[in-house]
Structure 1
Amino acid sequence: MSSLKAFLNQNVKVITSDGRLFLGTLEGFDQTTNVVLSNALERAFYPDEPKRDLELGAFIIRGDNVVCLGPYDEDEENNIDYSTVFADKLKSTKNAL
């Protein structure tokens, strides 16, 4: 978890175990990788329609749902033409019992 300290108060993207993508500012985290995002949004991609951003504000993601967390550059993100990006839903990363 100490490696997340470098991302505090930085813009991050989080991919969850159910294939969802969240963007926001990392405000905090704990030893179980629970993360707190401010200015959070969920970005959803679809196979046959443009992406949608759902503004969430302050948002907590449970650590057992975090698959990947990393920084992103806001200027670079704003220059991406998402009107040309389409995608199927990511498959779950959870193993069936």
Structure 2
Amino acid sequence: MADHKAQGSGLVNMVDSVIAVITNDGRHIVGVLRGYDQATNLVLEDSHERVYSTKSGVDVVALGLYVIRGDNVAMVGEIDEETDASLDLQSIRAAPLKPIMHG
């Protein structure tokens, strides 16, 4: 219970901010946090997925209004919009994230 309260209090400070979400299946989704609930289900607006590749730059796939189930959220962080805007995503080369293995 305490974990959910601590997590919730952190998310309340991020509402209406641009955030990055890493999902358990290795996706990187960026968008404006519009809402969340006690299960950490997230509602993002103006969202997009960043798909990484070692051969070409980061592909940006528009998602629009997007809901991420709380049980698929591995990490949430606030984005510095100025720094993010200065990134040249086409010059970044990186291997895609691997899914989280539970065992």
Place the TM-score, normalised by the shorter chain, in its bin.
Answer: over 0.9
Contact 1:22-1:41 within 8 A present in 2 as well? yes
- Output the CA distance in 2 between the equivalents of 1:82 and 1:56: 17
Q: Give the TM-score normalised by the residue count of structure 1.
A: 0.93
Give the number of equivalent residue pairs. Answer: 96
* Consecutive unaligned residues in structure 1, runs of 5 or more: none
Q: Percent of counterpart pairs with the same letter?
A: 35
Q: Distance in 1 between matches of 2:72 and 2:101?
A: 9
Instruction: Indicate yes or no: 2:96 matched with 1:89.
Output: yes
Map Cα deviations across residues 4-54 of structure 1 (whole Å, 9 max, x no partner).
100001110000001100000000000110000000000111110111111
Which one-letter code corresponds to 1:68 in the other structure? M
Higher mean C-alpha displacement, 81-90 vs 48-57: 81-90
Aligned counterpart, 2:38: 31
CA distance in 2, matches of 1:84, 1:40: 21
For 2:25, the equivalent position in structure 1 comes to 18
Task: Specify the alignment match of 1:43 in structure 2.
Answer: 50
What do you get for the CA RMSD once the two structures are aligned?
Answer: 1.0
**Aligned residue for 2:64?**
57
TM-score in terms of structure 2 length? 0.88
Give the CA deviation at 1:94.
3.1
